[in-house]
Amino acid sequence: MDRFFKLKEHGTNVRTEIIAGITTFMTMAYILFVNNLFLGPDGAGIPSDGVFFATAVGAGLVTIVMGLFVNIPIALAPGMGLNAYFMTVVLSSNGAVTWQAALGAVFISGIIFLILTVTKIRQMLLVAVPESIKSAITVGIGLFVAIIGFKMSDLIGIKLNGPVEDFTHQVPGSFFNLGLGDFVNNSGVQLTLIGLILIAILMALRVKGALLIGIVATTLIGIPMGVTDVSGLSGASWFPNVNELAVGKLDIMGALKLGLFEIVLVFTFVELFDTFGTLVGTATRAGLMKNKEEGEKKIGKAMLVDAAGVSAGAVLGTSTITSFVESTAGVAEGGRTGLTAVTTGVLFLLALFIAPLAGVVPSAATAPALIIVGVLMMGQVRNIEWDDFLHAFPAFLTIVLMPFTGGIANGISAGIISYVVLGACSNLFTNKKVKVHWLMWVLAILVLCRYIFLGAE
């Protein structure tokens, strides 16, 4: 084992790596419960057992491959934000886009991602898009996810003459009637608030696995409150029902016939920046970038695994599988090699045997985790150059249009177009020369064509 993972060379040992792997699993295992909120029956419509199986097996296998093939302490699982986008694609289509076709779009984006990685175009795009827009994408998705958490928990909603209504109701003239939920009579809202405060305290105290601990604790608290329904555990099979799996049910031809170009583009685009930042940031923190040449080789191999994982996840029945920033928790515990990732992957596979518990967790227990994830993703706002309007305006549009319009694609599109326009005007009418990469022009033209010929969402 020492020879295979080169433990001594990286200044670590088996015990340290295993503890690091367990730590990483604890910090990201919440995805086992949260992913069903987006992709399950109340979200995109995939059977709960199918979502749980795809999440556990997808995260487990791809993470193990990352550890064995790249020898790097990075774990992967269905990404937050992209699973939310997956849900909105299905729900906003009014039945035109099935979850099978959406999985087909994810699979296609994985193939494109793989091609972009092999041909080095991926690296070019990372240079072409300004850092401010990259950061703004993360922030915007964070707000998008947080709003879903608030809405799912009924913490906020549209307030008419009576109680708060479902956020999805299209009520004319109700924009400024948003209000807080019923904290007095709604036990689900009460439980959400308890969970939110609990997780916030754990995060503030830097407790490892705060999100998972918070979800589990909130679920247990919900039992005497009547929110958590444990009746389904009686006689349940402690393994996902094979008749409800979504393995191989993706509809690639359906995705192609529907012309889901924009959807594929968003999956690819968001994953592009999210993965790069996570891979480089985690590798740097683990000290793997000290040797630049060796570090870049590892990152290149990691990108291939990550890209292949996107399509693999679609085949299994889940949205985009991506590198998780929570991997830094394992690195902080001393994880330096692929043994950390392998340990995390094995734990995800073992999680298959707790499948019924995922169905017990109420939305009031997972919603606080979504809101906290929004807080964490907001941290990227510090990397935006707010003093430079050329960067501030596109970043602002990217951030606010995602939650305000309910479309991640709208925010990205506005950010790209506005940056290209402002950059071009600066070059034409001022002495301040702005380097606008030719790929940004290509992206801007593609976005304009999309809105001109296909219309807005």
Same domain, 331 and 445: no
Q: Distances from the Cα of 47 to the Cαs of 30, 39, 241, 284, in angstroms? A: 18, 8, 10, 39
Is residue 367 within 8 A of residue 188, CB to CB? The reply is no
Asked if residue 166 has pLDDT above 50, the reply is: no
Residue 225: which pLDDT band, with cuts at 50, 70 and 90?
Answer: very high
- What percent of the chain stands above pLDDT 90? 35
Same domain, 352 and 406: no
- Lowest model confidence (mean pLDDT) among 43-47, 270-274, 390-394: 270-274
Same domain, 339 and 409: no
Same domain, 108 and 245: yes
Q: 3: burial class by Cβ within 10 Å (0-12, 13-18, 19+)? A: exposed
pLDDT of residue 274: 63
> For residue 129, which of 323, 303, 274 has the smallest C-alpha distance?
274
Same domain, 20 and 115: yes
Number of domains in the chain: 2
Same domain, 350 and 414: no
Instruction: Name the packing angle between helices 121-128 and 438-454 (round to 10°).
Output: 90
The H or E element that residue 322 is part of is strand 321-323
> Residue 332's domain spans which residues?
2-141+233-356
**35-51 per-position pLDDT tens digit:** 988 899 988 999 988 99
Mean pLDDT of 80-90: 84
> Looking at the domain assignment, is residue 178 inside a domain?
no
Same domain, 307 and 349: yes
- Lowest model confidence (mean pLDDT) among 29-33, 260-264, 308-312, 424-428: 260-264
pLDDT of residue 81: 76
- Lowest model confidence (mean pLDDT) among 35-44, 107-116, 232-241: 232-241
Residue 98: which pLDDT band, with cuts at 50, 70 and 90?
Answer: very high
pLDDT of residue 456: 53
> Tokens 């999956």 — which residue?
267
Phi, psi of 158 (to 5 degrees): -90, 125
Same domain, 442 and 329: no
Same domain, 400 and 333: no
**7-22 per-position pLDDT tens digit:** 988 889 999 999 989 9
Same domain, 304 and 345: yes
> For residue 137, which of 402, 370, 393 has the smallest C-alpha distance?
402
Same domain, 275 and 415: no
Q: pTM here?
A: 0.76
> For residue 25, which of 17, 36, 37 has the smallest C-alpha distance?
17
> Looking at the domain assignment, is residue 155 inside a domain?
no
> Looking at the domain assignment, is residue 368 inside a domain?
no
Same domain, 133 and 246: yes
